[in-house]
Chain A
């Protein structure tokens, strides 16, 4: 009696080397047709190659699948290529922006940038003159002040939405969402009309911070709400069971448990407003000198510096603008990465 031979496991759906070869052939064919088309028609440039290649590749794979497996499979192949193309198009500008900023910005970066301000230099001077000190300190001042004002309001809003859940919960959630769509220029105009014209009558960093606060509150409130929602209900019940009032439960148990998540919310808020330009242009006056006093006198900031240098229009000043953009981008990305890192462990032990 012969023992029944167990068939060796096979994966018939897996692509064979021949399939890979044909895939590669299709790819190659698309590339060749791409070059032919671009060289015959008036289209030119890298983007033309890219788009034409994509179109030909799309057509070839679809036709091939149609011949092999029929129309359903052809449609499937068509859409697969299309969505991959969509993702690629989304990435294209990101890569282009990063490469450009690093390329052009690094030419304007030197050590003096972080030790000098622009009080003795104009944007069109040679690059070695002047620096960003006033802009960096100014941005940090503006953002820190805005943080001080927006964090309590943002977190209180989140607490209202998660802990109190009174009758305003739905309207407030709606309003916070609506507030996150307020254009930054409107926030600037509002501070201009409500505070700057009637009360202080002069540009200062504080005015800018007020506008940034308006833009920051929704980000902080929404992120905090999401974090507070993740705190297990058991913890709140345990607090109550131990005889804690709601105030003690929230202050001693819920908030500490959500600490790192709340910090993430703050950092995301900072990343949201650090590069905000429109209200800064309306409200801060944009000085060229380091101004440590946010309540008195115009204050410089990175967006203002970039704006001013860019509009000055000479090659030097545009390099300055790129350098400023690089510094600003690094600042924003550091905050963003920090938030991601902390956010990956939202609820502390």
Chain B
């Protein structure tokens, strides 16, 4: 931006000759201040995301350097201090929690996506207008429910029924490795956490899918009907090819949300520090709930490890969210 600031040249009073006012496209001083302030404000999101990376990285650096790649691949979390409180020996690895995070959120997405897509299709193409209006409000309202509400409701109300269904799954499908349990203990399993997370992310995936579906070009819909398609035929031929990418983006958005969820998972899940892929078995964890669990009585050095874990979680969710954003933008028409 050119730095010249054009002073309005004052006409010389004695000469009596009127000097024409200078015409310029240069922004005024007030405008330049305005643009500066707004640009600064606009860049704050960049600043905040940058600062989060820097500070978590800075705090977690020591642990990350000590553990190296083991921080992601090992699954011991042990710290020994002598009587003076100095760290004698420590091993930090978040593999168990990383596996738990991925397991819970994938269960959540697998459950939530079909239900959300059906709901979005119902809202867009089946429901009468009045019902659609009510349902959209109610589902948006659900997105505003606090996560601790889902956690406590999931623990006290949902758990008994889901546990029961988990036992049925195990009974009939137990020969499939992921439905197998090492011991007959189904309470507070990653599966239950996944169901609670699914309920939490259904509103997000539904609203993204609904928006993508609603942007299906009307002429193609009507062309399909004109060719004699049934409603499902139309959806299959027009809506699904058009909205597929957007739905995948919405699912990833939900995945990111599910990975970062803390309180609901902590409340529902039995946090055990071991790698557990068997989703029906009552042991698991996720990174966010590890942080809450260990934070209360952590020594300063352990806090650094928690910061490093937070950094990993941050990077993971950022990656998933960025992917989701690209998918939705690319396939979801011009508006989000």
Contacts and interface: CB of A to CB of B under 8 A. Distances in A.
B144 A332 contact: yes
A153 B38 CA distance: 9
Q: Which of A181, A325, A329 has the most CB of B within 10 A?
A: A181
A336 B141 contact: yes
Interface in B130-155: 135, 137-142, 144-150, 152-153
B314 A183 contact: yes
Contacts of B199: 93
Contacts of A189: 56, 291, 306-307, 310
By size class, the interface of chain B is 35 or more
Interface of A: 42-45, 47, 72-73, 75-76, 78-80, 82-87, 89-91, 93-94, 96-97, 100-101, 152-153, 155-157, 159-161, 163-164, 166, 168, 171-172, 174-187, 189-190, 192-194, 197, 214, 217-218, 221, 245-248, 250, 271-272, 274-278, 281-282, 303, 306-307, 310, 318, 321-322, 325, 328-329, 332-333, 335-336, 340
A64 to B, nearest CB: 15
Contact of A275 (B34, B44, B46, B149): B149
Q: Which of A155, A163, A275 has the most CB of B within 10 A?
A: A275
A247 B127 contact: no
Contacts of B292: 185, 278, 281-282
B161 interface: yes
Given A164-B35, A247-B33, A277-B148, A182 B115 contact: no
Interface string B197-215: 0010010001000000000
A333 B52 contact: no
Contact of A157 (B35, B42, B123, B325): B42
Nearest to A161: B42
A172 B34 contact: no
Nearest to B318: A178
A274 B144 CA distance: 9
Interface of B: 27-28, 30-31, 33-35, 37-46, 48-49, 51-52, 55-56, 58-59, 114-119, 121-123, 125-127, 135, 137-142, 144-150, 152-153, 156-158, 161, 164-165, 168, 199, 202, 206, 230-233, 235, 253, 256-257, 259-263, 267, 288, 291-292, 295, 306-307, 310, 313-314, 317-318, 320-322, 324-325, 336
A276 B230 CA distance: 45
B244 to A, nearest CB: 16
